[in-house]
Structure 1
Amino acid sequence: MTANLTKQTHFDAIIIGGGACGLMCAVQAGFLGKRTLVLEKNDRVGAKILISGGGRCNYTNLHTTHKQFISQNEHFSRSALAQWTVDDTISFFETYGIEGKEKTLGQLFPATNKAKDIVEMFTSLCNDLDQQIQCNTEVVAVRQTSEGFEVDTLHYNRQETLFATKVVIASGGLPIQKLGASDFGLRVARSFGMRVTTTSPALVPLTITGKDQPWYEQLSGNSIFCRVWNDRASFEENILFTHWGLSGPAILQISSYWKPGELIYVDMLPGQDIAELITTEREQNGKKTLLNYLAGLFTKKFADALSGHLPVNKNLASLSKTDMESISNLIHEFKVKPAGSKGYDKAEVMTGGVDTDELSSKTLEAKKIPGLFFGGECVDVTGWLGGYNFQWAWASGFVIAQSI
């Protein structure tokens, strides 16, 4: 292993991380006539872009406001999202050949359904704008000097220290380790004496263990449209039963608001009243069993699974008031106590990160360390499922580019 002395670079800034935030920052800086060097640990940029949305990349959401983001400062994201709006994202992507196609709940995907088109767009723009990308480069440390910053790197096991007057930390968060995720951005923040809020996996499946696990396991593969809630948030989307617990959009959403040891609640017929439905049905067909009726509302497999909780073999006409209360409580307020989550390797993002009090909301520059910027997932700003986190990445990359 060989080592080089500090190398003066001819770039306005070094960007650490070739993900959504880092790539957007490089391109936007290029539009302003600035030159950047993007350092990426993997052998190619955009690893999380490529796998997002099942390889289709839900790159923004039409309904984005600061209200779809979790942070200790709920207003922090307002400035960046105002400087780079959803309309800006749509216009930018369209300008460079990517038409959006709206799917459910305002989610926008490339019309081609190919995430690689987005990565190729960014790499092409970086090339056209003379923004340099250096892959297979691990950044070991960032130090402040009297004139800027030294960045220690390992490139194919060759040590090199680069110098830049400004540094952008766009290295992502802890999910997903196999894609090169690490706590690097958090470690850099701490090394400069900046506060970091507690992190946890978010947009992540939840696990069920112990005596309840076989019940969920028997329903593995069943998907039901539900309302899922706790005392912090509520979402109406599908849940998916698995052999280890629960997944699906509604579960991923509520997971960002769930803490170990807490209950979550599931309404399996949101917007309807199971007691009213049964009353109406038994006036017409009182001999129908509850099992057959529930199988018509859900699936036979799901109805069978409820047999341990409800008098499913009774005719509708013979259901008592107590029976109806039990049915209503189970269907509309099914209690789930997860044992945990599937962790960072199955999480799409994380909550927590660099404390927003340490950063300017307008520029994302560290208040105590001029010239050092943090953007994207390593900041304590976490979006809902459905393109919100990409919108934050584009916005944070844009605002940083204005100041480097």
Structure 2
Amino acid sequence: MPNSDICGTPAMTAKINKQTHFDAIIIGAGACGLMCAVQAGFSGKRTLILEKNDKPGAKILISGGGRCNYTNLYASPQQFISQNEHFCKSTLSQWTVEDTISFFETYGIVGKEKTLGQLFPESDKARDVVKVFTDLCRDLGQEIICNADVKNIEKVEDSFIVSVEIDGIPEEISASKVVIASGGLPIPKMGATDFGLRTARKFELKINDTAPALVPLTITGKDQPWFEQLSGNSIFCRVWNDRASFEENILFTHWGLSGPAILQISSYWRPGEYIYIDLLPYQNIAELIQQEREANGKKMLLAYLAGLYTRKFAEALSDRLPVEKNLASLTKADIEHITSLIHGFKVKPAGDKGYDKAEVMRGGVSTDELSSKTLEAKKVPGLYFGGECVDVTGWLGGYNFQWAWASGFVIAQGI
């Protein structure tokens, strides 16, 4: 049986009531699947959620360090990556950020803004978010079956036959609609699988190339020791490439780079490419040095940089900059070199930390295969895809939850 102190609802059972007619079977009790079940319940529809883990909302529970950044005040289609940049507009307009905020406030969760529009529950407890859904599923008669490993889905005439093992016991369940809300590939230890992608392929739907996103980047070879010595140092920067630019902290690690700005740019980075870092955004290092040497030309460059950054970071720059010189003795070429490095620090990552450390998956079921208004597969009536398995990937900071809630709502209107 599921963990009752997390779920606490009779809607969660270990066995399926064979006499119950379900309007839809939902694969996955994550953000999309839970919202879909609740919204369907509001319309008087009965759904069955099949969840592979031993409790619902496993990824919600660990998100934001267990605090759950459940939406972003500034969410709009511009913060989502897809081969069809317009596809998410319909879904995000049908269920807005205001709808998310109102929904959670109705059930006792008031948001508090942290940085850059990120909303967290006042309680800082992700389990409060999950409890909203499990309580509503109980009240609305929506069933959640945990430890349910779906093996196969077949379409027979106007129905779908779902083959599932519940606590290892094979079952077959039928419904006229099936919702694939099983997530993407990140964090396999949390039960992530390629089920959504496999199902799409089974029904001959196109898959856009997938890759880890919102993921730390690795540095190897001769540059690794330089980054390794700075492990633990965090600096506010602007990070960019030809596709995007972000201004947040970066974090040096023993294997490369992490921190919010790096996670953000990782979604736009491709292997073999460079990223660029402005280590002093909003300021001009050449002008700052000129002002300082007029006041104190004898100050060493190392001491000056140690005032802008940590001493450790300033010392790390010693093999890249003429830190042994005082400010007065810096030549025009020195200043140009310092400016180039500080405002255009060039990094060529070797790779990323993979799905174990990725927040989300980039790519997925092609939006060409889905109705933008309903998220129903065009070729397979009654089959819906929502959440992370679709080729819609949000920025860091609550955007992916907003997509999940919105896609769950939209699908519920169609089932």
TM-score by length of 1: 0.98
**Which of the numbers 75, 82, 86 marks the counterpart of 1:64?**
75
Paired with 1:246 and 1:131, the residues of 2 have a C-alpha distance of: 44
Which position in structure 2 is the counterpart of 1:171?
182
Residue 238 of structure 1, CA deviation: 0.2
User: Which deviations, in whole Å up to 9, do the C-alpha atoms of 1:317-366 show, x marking residues without a partner?
Assistant: 10001110110011000000000000001000011000000000000000
User: Which deviations, in whole Å up to 9, do the C-alpha atoms of 1:18-51 show, x marking residues without a partner?
Assistant: 0000000000001011110000000001011011
User: Which deviations, in whole Å up to 9, do the C-alpha atoms of 1:197-251 show, x marking residues without a partner?
Assistant: 0000000000000110000000000000000000000000000000000000000
User: Which deviations, in whole Å up to 9, do the C-alpha atoms of 1:130-152 show, x marking residues without a partner?
Assistant: 00000000001111111210001
User: Which deviations, in whole Å up to 9, do the C-alpha atoms of 1:138-190 show, x marking residues without a partner?
Assistant: 00111111121000101111111110100000000000100000110000000
Which position in structure 2 is the counterpart of 1:362?
373
Paired with 2:216 and 2:409, the residues of 1 have a C-alpha distance of: 31
Equivalent residue of 1:161, what SS?
A: strand
2:348 equivalent to 1:337? yes
Paired with 2:222 and 2:20, the residues of 1 have a C-alpha distance of: 60
**Which of the numbers 316, 321, 330 marks the counterpart of 1:310?**
321
Q: Which amino acid aligns with 2:301?
A: L
Structure 1: which 5+ residue stretches go unaligned? none
**Which of the numbers 369, 376, 386 marks the counterpart of 2:397?**
386
Paired with 2:231 and 2:323, the residues of 1 have a C-alpha distance of: 21
Residue 9 of structure 1, CA deviation: 5.0
Residue 307 of structure 1, CA deviation: 0.2
Percent identical pairs in the alignment equals 76
2:127 equivalent to 1:116? yes
Equivalent residue of 1:402, what SS?
A: helix
Q: Which amino acid aligns with 1:127?
A: R
**Which of the numbers 258, 261, 264 marks the counterpart of 2:272?**
261
**Displaced runs of 4+ in structure 1, greater than 6 A?**
none
Paired with 1:119 and 1:285, the residues of 2 have a C-alpha distance of: 59
Q: Which amino acid aligns with 1:305?
A: A
Paired with 1:176 and 1:30, the residues of 2 have a C-alpha distance of: 30
Cα RMSD of the aligned pairs, angstroms, is 0.9
Structure 2: which 5+ residue stretches go unaligned? 1-14
Which position in structure 2 is the counterpart of 1:139?
150
Paired with 2:196 and 2:240, the residues of 1 have a C-alpha distance of: 32
Paired with 1:50 and 1:295, the residues of 2 have a C-alpha distance of: 40
Paired with 2:169 and 2:218, the residues of 1 have a C-alpha distance of: 43
Change (3 A) 1:89 1:357: same
Paired with 2:81 and 2:401, the residues of 1 have a C-alpha distance of: 14
Which position in structure 2 is the counterpart of 1:377?
388
2:235 equivalent to 1:210? no
**Which of the numbers 158, 164, 171 marks the counterpart of 1:153?**
164
Equivalent residue of 1:364, what SS?
A: coil
Equivalent residue of 1:171, what SS?
A: coil
Residue 8 of structure 1, CA deviation: 7.4
Equivalent residue of 2:165, what SS?
A: strand
Q: Which amino acid aligns with 1:132?
A: E
**Which of the numbers 97, 113, 131 marks the counterpart of 1:102?**
113
Residue 299 of structure 1, CA deviation: 0.5
Paired with 1:229 and 1:165, the residues of 2 have a C-alpha distance of: 47
Paired with 2:288 and 2:81, the residues of 1 have a C-alpha distance of: 37
**Which of the numbers 209, 212, 236 marks the counterpart of 1:225?**
236
Which position in structure 2 is the counterpart of 1:325?
336
**Which of the numbers 134, 138, 153 marks the counterpart of 1:127?**
138
User: Which deviations, in whole Å up to 9, do the C-alpha atoms of 1:82-109 show, x marking residues without a partner?
Assistant: 0000000000000000000001100000
Q: Which amino acid aligns with 1:235?
A: F
2:407 equivalent to 1:396? yes
Paired with 2:158 and 2:252, the residues of 1 have a C-alpha distance of: 56
Q: Which amino acid aligns with 2:383?
A: L
Paired with 1:53 and 1:326, the residues of 2 have a C-alpha distance of: 39
Number of aligned pairs?
A: 399
**Structure 1 contact 68–384 (Cα < 8 Å) conserved:** yes
User: Which deviations, in whole Å up to 9, do the C-alpha atoms of 1:283-329 show, x marking residues without a partner?
Assistant: 00111100000000011000000000001011001000111011001
Q: Which amino acid aligns with 1:15?
A: I
Paired with 2:365 and 2:308, the residues of 1 have a C-alpha distance of: 46
Which position in structure 2 is the counterpart of 1:52?
63
Q: Which moved more, 1:237-246 or 1:8-17?
A: 8-17
**Which of the numbers 244, 248, 260 marks the counterpart of 2:259?**
248
**Structure 1 contact 41–139 (Cα < 8 Å) conserved:** yes
User: Which deviations, in whole Å up to 9, do the C-alpha atoms of 1:35-88 show, x marking residues without a partner?
Assistant: 100000000010110111111000000101101000000000000100000000
Which position in structure 1 is the counterpart of 2:292?
281
TM-score by length of 2: 0.95
Paired with 1:92 and 1:25, the residues of 2 have a C-alpha distance of: 13
Paired with 2:380 and 2:90, the residues of 1 have a C-alpha distance of: 20
Residue 121 of structure 1, CA deviation: 1.0
2:182 equivalent to 1:196? no
